[in-house]
């Protein structure tokens, strides 16, 4: 349901086409494709570029790498050469917006307001800039939409309603939202915003009614969990402010069912229990409009939609620069785009008094490590552990960095301390600590200490596919508990049928058991899902060789070499390309485990692979 919802929105939204880095008129399409295929980030000196095509291709490369500052400089250079080129002006505007340079982006949005290609972008950006400046009537005149897209219509109506609130016509804004029409998924956005507007208006009765309707909308909660959580917290704060402490705590409990151990919700519960005065997240029209953009961005936040989501979130951030959830979400997108400096800067902006600050500090530490600043990351995360030794997330984050650094002894020591903090009665959510502790000891070749941790993780969370996969494969690899181990991996595949790494484990387990035809079937499936993974391609090559498909085996081994395998595996794969696998009688001496280093956990849940 949720995937269909998102796909439908993206397929019909004009933004998707504009943000897809479509071809620019006058530039050779083959050259543009070469720019897309450039696998590494390149730094350009804009002053060294003297042609339009050179400036465009360099800018496009920077765009593909999400290096927006460089892209901006190069698009500006291209405009100096061809000042009237509308497509370059579009790309420059978008790059400015994605980089958070909203004021400069607005200048180009005003210039391009008559361009139908980017009409939705310019309308939203210009309308929000007017609201940011307190010119709500101007925003009302800008925010117009009469097209067929349900998402665009809903978003425009909600933003227009908040503009009316800002203009002093709050009742009119509330009535407008209450009368909105659309598909069923619109309700969660409609009810939450109606409740938030009613709170700003001082209409407690209407606020309670609409927020309760939002909280009861479970399907809407699955569609837009960020909006659903905002509705829960707004209702809890409303009830607490009205002296209804138990009702406030009941609302928080609904949120716990959706997202256990959500830090802002835990902080809100503690605050309500202490009887502290509650302040709503949305207190003004600007914050309300920013919330609309955040909610839509959060609902669309999937792989491949990063530019659309970033555009909404950067515009929301301009309206409400202290919104912690917007900053953290933007930081996460920057990490996915391998822009660690930008991610770090965003995490550092999270207000010190926000419940999300701790999360941002943890993510900052992980971003430092991913950006190559491992020593700084270790010191940062160690300081977080020292500041609150009871926060298990800190141990998971630090353990992730240690795993990446292959410092398995320090990793084991770290999780030993975490287990001491957990105490004798661990909860279900603590499975990841024992899992990672098991990995550390397994990597240290201390299986007698590793296995009890994997078993403990399964005691706490019996259907955890990563643990089932890791323990099952380890047993098979050591020729122990073969039936039970294979059963565990099969169960993991049933739980994660689209996880290429787990399917690879099943295929490689069959290979280790000399069931080569079964191995080929599973490894082909894994290779379809993770086509560029070196280990999976290497495994498939081995399986092909054993069933006599030797040309295909060599092809897969060459694909593995082209997919950047671990350095220790390169000479072994090259040997197989040259000479194939040895006779089966020698398998026990030559077949490697070929287990890639485990993917480390980032808080909350861990992700690991074993193949």
In the chain, % of residues over pLDDT 90: 81
* Architecture in CATH of 373-462: Alpha Horseshoe (1.25)
pLDDT band at 303 (very low <50, low <70, confident <90, very high): confident
CATH superfamily of 464-611: Tetratricopeptide repeat domain (1.25.40.10)
**Residues in CB range of 175: below 8 A, 6 or more apart:** none
Distance separating the N- and C-terminal Cα atoms of the chain: 32
Structure tokens given for 398: 């630090």
102-161 per-position pLDDT tens digit = 999 999 999 999 899 999 999 999 999 999 999 999 999 999 998 899 999 999 999 999
Supply the pLDDT for residue 164.
98
- In this prediction, residues 328-332 reach a mean pLDDT of 95
Supply the pLDDT for residue 477.
86
H or E stretch covering 353: none
71-106 per-position pLDDT tens digit = 999 999 999 999 989 999 999 999 999 999 999 999
Supply the pLDDT for residue 26.
36
The residues spanned by each domain of the chain are 373-462, 464-611
pLDDT at 533 over 60: yes
Same fold yes or no, 373-462 and 464-611 = yes
pLDDT at 593 over 50: no
- In this prediction, residues 468-494 reach a mean pLDDT of 94
Q: How far apart are CA 218 and CA 228, in angstroms?
A: 9
Q: How many CB atoms lie within 10 A of CB 11?
A: 9
pLDDT band at 545 (very low <50, low <70, confident <90, very high): very high
Supply the pLDDT for residue 19.
46
pLDDT at 409 over 60: yes
H or E stretch covering 423: none
pTM (2 decimals)?
0.82
219-273 per-position pLDDT tens digit = 998 889 999 999 999 999 999 999 999 999 999 999 988 887 788 999 999 999 9
The phi, psi pair for 145, rounded to 5°, reads -155, 130
Supply the pLDDT for residue 46.
63
Supply the pLDDT for residue 43.
53
365-388 per-position pLDDT tens digit = 999 999 999 999 999 999 999 999
């Amino acid at each position: 349901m949720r995937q269909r919802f998102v796909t439908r929105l993206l397929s019909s939204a004009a933004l998707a086409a504009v943000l897809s880095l479509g071809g620019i008129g006058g530039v050779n399409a083959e050259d543009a494709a070469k720019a897309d295929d450039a696998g590494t980030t390149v730094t350009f000196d804009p002053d060294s570029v003297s042609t339009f095509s050179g400036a465009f291709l360099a800018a496009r490369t920077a765009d593909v790498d999400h290096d927006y500052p460089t892209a901006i400089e190069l698009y500006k250079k291209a405009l100096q050469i061809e000042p009237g080129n509308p497509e370059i002006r579009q790309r420059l505007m978008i790059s400015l917006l994605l980089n958070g340079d909203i004021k400069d982006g607005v200048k180009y949005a005003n210039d391009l307001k008559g361009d139908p290609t980017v009409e939705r972008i310019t309308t939203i950006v210009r309308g929000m800039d007017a609201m940011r400046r307190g010119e709500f009537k101007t925003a009302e005149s800008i925010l117009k939409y009469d097209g067929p897209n349900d998402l665009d219509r809903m978003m425009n109506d909600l933003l227009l309603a908040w503009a009316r609130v800002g203009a002093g016509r709050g009742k009119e804004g509330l009535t407008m939202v209450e009368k909105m029409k659309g598909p069923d998924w619109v309700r969660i956005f409609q009810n939450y915003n109606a409740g938030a507007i009613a709170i700003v208006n001082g209409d407690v009765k209407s606020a309670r009614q609409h927020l309760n309707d939002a909280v009861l909308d479970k399907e809407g909660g699955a569609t837009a969990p960020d909006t659903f959580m905002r509705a829960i917290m707004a209702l809890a704060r409303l009830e607490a402010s009205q002296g209804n402490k138990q009702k406030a705590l009941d609302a928080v409990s609904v949120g716990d069912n959706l997202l256990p151990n959500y830090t802002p919700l835990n902080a809100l519960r503690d605050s309500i229990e202490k009887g502290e005065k509650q302040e709503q997240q949305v207190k003004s029209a600007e914050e309300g409009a920013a919330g609309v953009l955040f909610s839509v961005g959060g609902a669309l936040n999937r792989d491949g939609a990063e530019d659309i989501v970033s555009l909404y979130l950067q515009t929301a951030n301009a309206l409400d620069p202290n919104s912690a959830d917007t900053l953290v979400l933007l930081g996460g997108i920057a990490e996915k785009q391998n822009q660690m400096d930008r991610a770090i800067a965003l995490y550092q902006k999270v207000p010190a008094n926000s419940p999300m600050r701790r999360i941002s500090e943890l993510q900052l530490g992980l971003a430092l490590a991913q950006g190559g600043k491992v020593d700084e990351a270790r010191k940062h995360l160690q300081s977080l552990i020292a500041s609150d030794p009871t926060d298990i997330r800190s141990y998971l984050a630090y353990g992730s960095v240690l795993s990446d650094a292959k410092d398995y002894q320090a990793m084991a020591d770290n999780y030993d301390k975490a287990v001491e903090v957990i105490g004798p009665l661990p909860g279900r959510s603590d499975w990841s600590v024992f899992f990672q502790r098991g990995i550390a000891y397994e990597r240290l070749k201390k299986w007698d200490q590793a296995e009890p941790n994997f078993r403990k993780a399964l005691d706490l969370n019996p259907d955890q596919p990563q643990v089932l996969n890791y323990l099952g494969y380890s047993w098979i690899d050591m020729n122990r508990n073969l039936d039970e181990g294979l059963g565990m991996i099969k169960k993991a595949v049933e739980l994660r049928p689209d996880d290429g790494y787990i399917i690879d484990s099943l295929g490689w387990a069959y290979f280790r058991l000399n069931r080569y035809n079964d191995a080929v079937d599973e490894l082909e499936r894994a290779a379809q899902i993770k086509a560029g993974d070196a280990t999976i391609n290497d495994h498939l090559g081995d399986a092909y060789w054993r069933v006599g498909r030797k040309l295909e085996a060599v092809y897969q081994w060459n694909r593995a070499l082209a997919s950047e395998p671990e350095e220790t595996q390169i000479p072994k794969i090259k040997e197989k390309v040259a000479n194939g696998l040895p006779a089966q009688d020698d398998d026990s001496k030559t077949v490697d485990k070929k287990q890639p280093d485990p993917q480390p956990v980032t808080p909350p849940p861990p992700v690991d692979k074993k193949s």
